[in-house]
Amino acid sequence: MRALNLDQIRAFLMVCRLGGVQKAAQNLHLTQPAVTTRIKKLEEGLGVALFERQASGMKLTKRGELLMQYAEQFERLSDRVEKVVVAPDGIDRRLRVGASETIAQCWLPDFVSALHAKYPRLEVDINVDISVNLRAGLLAREIDLAMLLGPVSEYSVDNVVLPGFELTWYSAYGIAQTQEGGNRLLREKPVITYARNTRPWRELKTLLFDQVGPDVSVFPSSSLSACFRLVEAGLGVAALPRVLGRSLVEENRLQEFDPGWKPSDLSFTVSYLGDPHSHLVEAAATLARTVAEDWHLVN
């Protein structure tokens, strides 16, 4: 028997977890032939078949199921060696980070800077998207770390709570700010909000129905920047993060108004898969919380 190869073990585990070579190749940033070759060499080295190739996908053989148990132990040992033995500046890996636009416009640059300071050789891929897509990407193992409207209620996911964002109502500058005027605005102006089927969108739809009535026009947008621009142009009103609207208010481009109610604060988590355990991902999540807390203290 040949010595076990860590890259072959990782390819084997990824095929097991994702159910096929194509998805495993995408996750490992390899070609399908490269993953197939690693699996074939692992089987040749062990002298056993690890998978049954079926039309529905790859199914583990009895020997494959046995190897998976040991491979997971090997993976955990490798992670522990990296944690205990390898110096942070010696870690040469890729970290795939997904972030909501709210976080991207606030403290994400500080987080990336802190990551590079701690892990100089770490390659960081950034994907900014809505929380629904980030959650799907995390569960599909396309993202290592997701900063999103959370928590993610899955047994396989660990969630680190982040500071929230207070929402306040905004209109274009110069519109009456009384509570009566605020209620009138919500009846007369379209309400611009977060993307359809997101948590803020669902909550706002319910609150508008209860507080104002069923005939309020709601315009969802997947771009937070676009929401602010539309409000500034007088095309609607919106409940948006106060910390992001503050400078626009100071510049007399927007103004706050109070209809007597507002949606609850946005609650974020930094979430990651607990299996396989990665001390790097866990350390990055802890660092994200620290950076977020520091940013909120001064903003």
Whether residues 131 and 276 fall in one domain = yes
Instruction: Tell me how far apart the alpha carbons of residues 34 and 87 are, in angstroms, rounded to a whole number.
Output: 30
The token pair at 136 is 């799907």
The answer to the question of residue 30 being in a domain is yes
Q: Tokens 């960081």 — which residue?
A: 124
| Last residue within a domain, chosen from 28, 53, 84 | 84
**What pLDDT is recorded for position 100?**
94
**What pLDDT is recorded for position 37?**
84
The answer to the question of residue 1 being in a domain is no
3-state class (DSSP) for residue 140: coil
Q: Tokens 């190739």 — which residue?
A: 53
Instruction: Tell me how far apart the alpha carbons of residues 57 and 26 are, in angstroms, rounded to a whole number.
Output: 16
Please state, for a pLDDT cut of 90, what percent of the chain lies above it.
43
Instruction: Tell me how far apart the alpha carbons of residues 132 and 9 are, in angstroms, rounded to a whole number.
Output: 32
| Last residue within a domain, chosen from 84, 102, 121 | 84
pLDDT digits (tens, 9 = 90+) for 202-247: 999 999 888 888 888 899 998 899 999 999 998 999 999 999 999 9
Residue 254 has pLDDT above 70, yes or no: yes
Answer yes or no: are the C-beta atoms of 155 and 163 closer than 8 Å.
Answer: no
Poorest-pLDDT segment among 102-106, 215-219, 268-272: 215-219
3-state class (DSSP) for residue 194: coil
**What pLDDT is recorded for position 5?**
77
Whether residues 37 and 79 fall in one domain = yes
Identify the band that residue 258 occupies on the pLDDT scale cut at 50, 70 and 90: confident
Whether residues 244 and 205 fall in one domain = yes
Mean pLDDT, rounded, of the chain: 86
The answer to the question of residue 183 being in a domain is yes
Q: Which residue has the higher pLDDT, 83 or 107?
A: 107
Instruction: Tell me how far apart the alpha carbons of residues 41 and 50 are, in angstroms, rounded to a whole number.
Output: 11
The answer to the question of residue 213 being in a domain is yes
The answer to the question of residue 262 being in a domain is no
Whether residues 176 and 239 fall in one domain = yes
Interstrand relation of 191-193 and 145-149 (parallel, antiparallel or unpaired) = unpaired
Q: Which residue has the higher pLDDT, 251 or 276?
A: 251
**What pLDDT is recorded for position 102?**
93
Whether residues 16 and 143 fall in one domain = no
Which residues face 191 on adjacent strands?
A: 218, 237
Whether residues 177 and 159 fall in one domain = no
The answer to the question of residue 31 being in a domain is yes
> What are the start-end ranges of the E strands in 162-279?
167-172, 191-193, 218-220, 238-241, 254-257, 268-273
CATH number for the domain spanning 193: value is 3.40.190.10
pLDDT digits (tens, 9 = 90+) for 58-77: 788 888 888 888 787 777 77
pLDDT digits (tens, 9 = 90+) for 149-177: 989 988 889 999 999 999 999 999 887 55
Residue span of the structural domain in which 26 resides: 6-84
| Last residue within a domain, chosen from 35, 52, 84 | 84
Counting the structural domains of the chain, the total is 3
Poorest-pLDDT segment among 45-59, 92-106, 153-167, 193-207: 45-59
The answer to the question of residue 246 being in a domain is yes
